[in-house]
Structure 1
């Protein structure tokens, strides 16, 4: 089954996270397919800009699939988190503009994927944020990625409370780039992608490579710190307890 869809519109590519029954939550298949597709698009000289969005209207990406996360034990933490890192890196590695059309909730891993994009379009009422602590996980990679966009006060608020904020607030504090009506998010992202696709490709590529070089060491450090932190969280049993409660409540619905 295709967990990620690809549509080409001339010089644009639209990449859609496609697990609507799970609010486009990240699992192994989605990660693998997304990494592969983004790598192909980065090498495709006919593609000048990429729009990343989610299937349906409920979610851009609700984060990590908790069915998968709840099955992780300490022996699998390193490869699991390295796979997450590779997914974020695949977005960071793009040498052409990447616009996230945040068409629904973006939380946790989904929020972090959007933060790796160059441009984020969202509706004022759409909710986004970093709820890892509520799942018993430390906010490490996500809190680092937020430092690229907001100051410590807002970072601490989102990382330690685990609360989601709406798109209007996210725009006001600098987490997202552009607001659009709920039914116009994708079209606004496509319009921006067309504008950026028309820019000189070499100048865009070199600018993006410089942004990546300025942040790569800190990103790598955050990913290593994240592994250490989640080892300790899992050793205390907090993620397992939080996810078990969530899955039990979901199964009662």
Structure 2
């Protein structure tokens, strides 16, 4: 499939989605949202993919934010539609039936950090800078940042980041739980692939239900969701293969 603003590669059950607008530090615009929307629709049903990595082209930027020139003259209603569009695309990533790893290679600012927040796991390069600078423009994060960030790192630290608009380093991001690990720029993608390869060996059915159960933890019925998903998996072929492999002391082979 061809996309205007992103590149897609698939190898060994791992898809790598690269936002490819290096001249604008991979800033999000309408075309990027359209391409992300389409590629994650494709990946949701692609049988050869068990895990996804999303990153930015070049060595400077994951996604430096939204393309401000594109929406600077928007009306209030247009701005609301823009926010809704971002929410829909990022929710599609968050709810994908396969794990998504953000490989943050440089700037992850504004909408770029919000994109990373919608992923299930975040790895960062040593040169990464993360922040939500929207209040400098007289705005707030509009693609889920005010909702996902406090849940991930706590309300107080999230408030500090949002209100101050300051950028933080990759190491600081790790210390507050915003990213899982920090690597050199050269090691970022190999380490992301290493993790994705480990994930890809496991039960796709189990992982899909795990994603749903973890996402449901934010709801009042999270415990009930876990019970139901746990029970549903007992009727799946993956469970039968996993148990058989354990008893027979061999590695499971999941379809």
For the criterion TM > 0.5, the same-fold answer is yes
Which is richer in helix? 1
Identify the residue that residue 199 of structure 1 maps to in structure 2: 202
Q: CA offsets, 1:177-223, max 9 Å, x none?
A: 11111221111111111111111111100010122233479xxxxxx
Q: 2:76 aligns with which of 74, 77, 81?
A: 74
SS in 2 for 1:209: helix
The runs of 5 or more residues in structure 1 that have no matched partner are: 218-253
CA contact (8 A) 1:38 1:90 kept: yes
Aligned alpha-carbon RMSD (Å)? 1.5
Q: 1:45 aligns with which of 44, 47, 59?
A: 47
Identify the residue that residue 63 of structure 2 maps to in structure 1: 61
Larger radius of gyration: 2
TM-score in terms of structure 1 length: 0.82
SS in 2 for 1:148: helix
Q: Which has the higher contact order (CA 8 A, sep 6+)?
A: 1
List aligned pairs for 1:23-172, cutoff 5 A.
Answer: 23-139=25-141, 141-172=144-175
SS in 2 for 1:86: helix
TM-score in terms of structure 2 length: 0.81
Spell out structure 1 runs of 4+ moving beyond 3 A.
214-217
Identify the residue that residue 213 of structure 1 maps to in structure 2: 216
CA contact (8 A) 2:111 2:141 kept: no
Aligned residues: 217
Which stretch shifts more, 174-183 or 141-150? 141-150
The runs of 5 or more residues in structure 2 that have no matched partner are: 221-255
